[in-house]
Amino acid sequence: MTPPTVADCLDTAAARLKAAGIDDPRRETRLLLAHALGVDQAAIIGHPERPVADCDAFLELVGRRTRGVPMAHILGRREFWSLEFRVTPDTLDPRPDSETVVEAALAAVSGRRGAAISVLDLGAGTGCLLLAVLSELPAAHGVAVDISPAAVAVARGNAIKLGLGQRAHFFAGDWGSALAGGFDLVLANPPYVPRGEIAGLQTEVAQHEPRLALDGGEDGLDAYRRLAGELPRLLRAGGTAAIEVGYGQWEAVAALFRAAGLGLGNPAFDLAGVARCIICHGSHAD
Ligand SMILES: C[S@@+](CC[C@H](N)C(=O)[O-])C[C@H]1O[C@@H](n2cnc3c(N)ncnc32)[C@H](O)[C@@H]1O
């Protein structure tokens, strides 16, 4: 029997993804086929007539996707800030919205790009926030903490692959409790989904992303309460924190941080116009 062509496989798979409610089935189909064949997308687009010997293996990947497994888990990677990160079920799949935190952090230190700035990332996941910032600040160095040792191992591997292993150090811990402080820049994207809303999220989030990366307690603000208690110590005087917040949370988090004595900057907005990042400044002497 003649094997199906690239075009046949793409048509079959795109129809299945569309039926499963996937937003951009053609794009995802191309990514999955390129992954299955070990080629880049240009080879898929440029050679629709190419026979595909093992279409079944490809359709198995498509089946995982229709059952809600995130693309980043199937491909094992995600691009963030134009860098490639390994992603596993132990790490949050980095979101484009979180690039708002990177932009805001870089803007805060724009006058000191070549300086030996110290950076702390609380809740490292893949390490995407710290590593994106370090990729733009050649003399900066940083540490990142995550409560999940498995996430820490992934983040460490990402740092090495990106050539940043000498400047980025990762360890397992509970927020900043093991750290003395004095950081120039603190980054965080804490879990902020109210617990009762997790089950109602898309399958790929609710069932496949780590609970530790999502669960923000009853009202979604538990981690911010912890950070409000720790940031005044962790930030050096004049240092800046850029912290991601969920939709509609900016005011509540601002109130927590203000009550902790932190100075607040203007919100940073994501591409959808959502106040996505809270900026605050340390005032305590080192
Ligand atoms: C929303 S994810 C963010 C991951 C990554 N920074 C990103 O932006 O993709 C939150 C991370 O915080 C970590 N986390 C949850 N509770 C923590 C705690 N008590 N101390 C340190 N990290 C914690 C989770 O394991 C998870 O990796």
What pLDDT, in 10s, does the model give residues 129-174?
Answer: 999 999 999 999 999 999 999 999 999 999 999 999 999 999 999 9
174 lines ligand 1 (CB under 6 A): yes
Ligand 1 atom closest to Cα of residue 192: 1
Digit-coded pLDDT (tens) for 195-213: 999 999 999 999 999 999 9
* Radius of gyration, CA atoms only, the chain: 21
CA distances from 272 to 80, 97, 107, 187, 253 (A): 17, 9, 19, 21, 20
Helix (H, G, I), strand (E, B) or coil at 102: helix
As a whole number of angstroms, the distance between CA 251 and CA 115 comes to 33
Q: Give pLDDT, residue 54.
A: 84
129 lines ligand 1 (CB under 6 A): yes
As a whole number of angstroms, the distance between CA 118 and CA 17 comes to 45
CA distances from 196 to 47, 192, 246, 257 (A): 48, 12, 15, 24
125 lines ligand 1 (CB under 6 A): yes
Query: Any idea how long the chain is?
Result: 286
| CB-based contact 231:280 (threshold 8 Å) | yes
CA distances from 225 to 192, 217, 229 (A): 11, 11, 6
CA distances from 139 to 116, 143, 145, 182 (A): 5, 14, 21, 17
Residues of the chain with pLDDT under 50: 285-286
Helix (H, G, I), strand (E, B) or coil at 38: coil
Mean pLDDT of the chain: 95
Ligand 1 atom closest to Cα of residue 145: 21
CA distances from 7 to 37, 38, 49 (A): 14, 17, 7
191 lines ligand 1 (CB under 6 A): yes
189 lines ligand 1 (CB under 6 A): yes
Q: Give pLDDT, residue 284.
A: 56
In the chain, the percentage of residues whose pLDDT exceeds 70 is: 99
Distance 190 CA to ligand 1 centre (A): 5
**Nearest protein Cα to ligand 1, atom 27:** 125
As a whole number of angstroms, the distance between CA 286 and CA 280 comes to 17
Domain 81-281 top-level CATH class? alpha beta
Q: Give pLDDT, residue 286.
A: 44
pTM comes to 0.94
As a whole number of angstroms, the distance between CA 90 and CA 93 comes to 9
Amino acid at site 190: P
Mutate to test the pocket of ligand 1, among 147, 170, 198 (most ligand atoms within 8 A of CB): 147
